[in-house]
Chains A and B, each alone.
Chain A
Amino acid sequence: MQMIENKNFSRRKSVLQHPFSAFLLLGLFLSILQIIAIVTDGEWPRTSVINGFATVMIYAIVGYGFSFLLGYAGLASLGTAGFVGFGAYFTAYFLQANMPYIPYVVIMIAALVLSILLGLAVGFISLRIEGIFLAIVTLGISEVFYQLFNSWMPVTGGPNGARISEYPVFQSLLSMSPADSKRAFYFVLVVVNVLLMMLTYNLGKSRTGRAMLAMKNSSSAAQAMGISLLKYRLLAFLLSTAYAVLAGVLFMSYNRNTLPGNYNIMLSLNILAVVLIGGSRSLLGTFVGSFIVFGITPILFQNISFLNENAWIINVIIGIIIILIVMFYPGGLVQLFGSLKAQVLKLFRQRRGNPQQETAEPAEESNGEKANLESISAIRAQIAQELNSFGQQARNTGPGATRVAAADALPSDVILRLENLSMIFGGLKAVDNLTFDVKQREIFGLIGPNGAGKTTVFNCITQFYKPTGGNILYRTEDGQVIRLNDCQVHDIISLGIVRTFQNVEVIGELSILENLLIAAHAQCRTGLLKQAFNTRSVRLEEKHLREHAEKVIDYCGLTAVKDLHPVGQPYGVLKRVELARTLMAGAKLIILDEPAAGLNEQETMELTQLIHDIQRDFGVTIFLVEHDMGLVMNICDHICAISFGKKLAYGTPREIQNDRVVQEAYLGTREYSEEAQDVQHA
């Protein structure tokens, strides 16, 4: 009995905790307001209040779209006003009195389709511009729209504005009175608002949202994880455009008239404020932001005649709020509430005299005894078996025919071949005619003094740089030989090549577990619409990925920190997150850029063991650049030494150690190194 009650209780709790219930409650509240208004015939709440809430909803919709741009993709645009205006004027044009009848739904869909085309065109122009300049360029685009609204008299009505004859659907089809139609259309706004909140929430939580966040936090890591920057920037832009145009359509349908002056830069700034004030990734926050910016005056202050007549004061206050929030609470109201809540909870706990100590001890960082390392290694082998049985999702193996070289171009035991690779920056030859092979399933080391061009070689292999000469050939799992020069940087991961970075590149705004999910991005197959509706296939895929990621996390010894954010974690943990990411991606060739840089002796030992185990357990090839000679000599099967972009020597660790040329490059001239040896012998 008790148990059943508990179960019921927890179910009730989980229903309430489901984010959608908050959206539905909001929708219910907004509907009830209007119902009361209808029952009391506008006595309370007044029509101006209802219209105020309608405005809040319309601009909140623009805000939801904008949050993709600002909150997820990290792009600031000032073109929003132009797109809202486009939606409004488009609707106005086709619902004019002298137009033939066109169903409202058709107009809406046409507006959305056009908005996507428009967003594509504008996106292609503006997304070539980096970061903050995007705001300037989109501002220019918005100006073009404004001029159009203001000057194209026959279509837009020019400075006098546009007007539609009847409220769509309710008045034109159902022959309701204008006042009733307007009231009925309010409910359309509520429904669309709640629906878009849900879809936006789903998309934000989906791999699309994660990919955009990855792009915002580290464009290099995102590219290495198979995320096409252009694609996701464009997608964020398209989504925000579509939401803005839809809001424009709704605005026109509800208000029936509009003036071009509505769509100047102030509207774009206000939308920016809406998203910023609320918290750039919080939907309820965005709604509250919209309430503060657009709703306070008509809803709360309508009876305070002083503020009603001096609306400018509200705008000044909003300006001040924007500044304060950016400076002190970049996370918006959500962050403010979060820290307030934490403070209250802390007080509460202190009063109870029961401080809950957080005892998150990393599982396996106690001591560096060799025995301990070996036992961890044994546990890893077990987890690896489970991981291997997990099986990869179907990998994208569709490199175009042009990229496929003849299968016999590489001996079957070679996974990667550099042929006369050259990379020239201006007059500097960073890599000069470099040729070497990496064999299947070996640990291969690339060493050389600082500035030898090691990282450049990595960047050439992973296509961060396009080599200026030579070939890079790679044998995929199924035996195809591919010329990497012809691949794009975000395609590399789906060939099974995954890299880490010299200065760790992790996604600060995602938990460590979610950081791993990013690595599986290229394996996901579900489309955008499915993600928006969070269909069964999406949920299954997500569940499968999470289970997989949990295992990888266990394997890399990150279990204790998996739900924490990487910001502030020790370097050793972050390095392991990067390694875990390569495993999550199902890498066949793992490229490690100075894995031990910045680690202490203890951490280096653990990492060495981990690298060794990964090679053993998953049969992968590991290609690393490292300055820690102990590590390199310890684990590498073959080593290539380079200096000033040229190959010095290739061989086993022992051969490299005894190579005169290498010694010279590291220790100086021959005389000096001989002296040094003499001193050693003596």
Chain B
Amino acid sequence: MVETRKIICTSCPMGCELTVTFDEEKVIEVKGNACPLGTDYAKQEIFDPKRMVASTVRVRNGYHPLVPVYTEKPVPKPIIMDVLAEIRKVEVEAPVSINDVIVENVLDTGINIIASRNLPKA
């Protein structure tokens, strides 16, 4: 069955409104994109939407009580809340360095959760 859906491309801040025509297997047509990124975005968004996820984890003896973390790569949209639950279980000891792996291979996605800043000891 051929379907048409309107989605907004989030590849860049322009936010093109795409009109995507697709069936069960493939995207047939993408309209409204200002650049080729829109076509790739549409394919991904229709069949396997993914998002970057950012949150914080608790830190013992740190300059701040939290260190910000994020997924190295976008994770499948349906498991975002599960990824957050995994992040919430973690507590780390200061110091933390930027890009330190905080959770390895979260939920077997092959994606690491990494720190987005240096956090020295208190």
Asked if chains A and B come from one complex, the reply is no
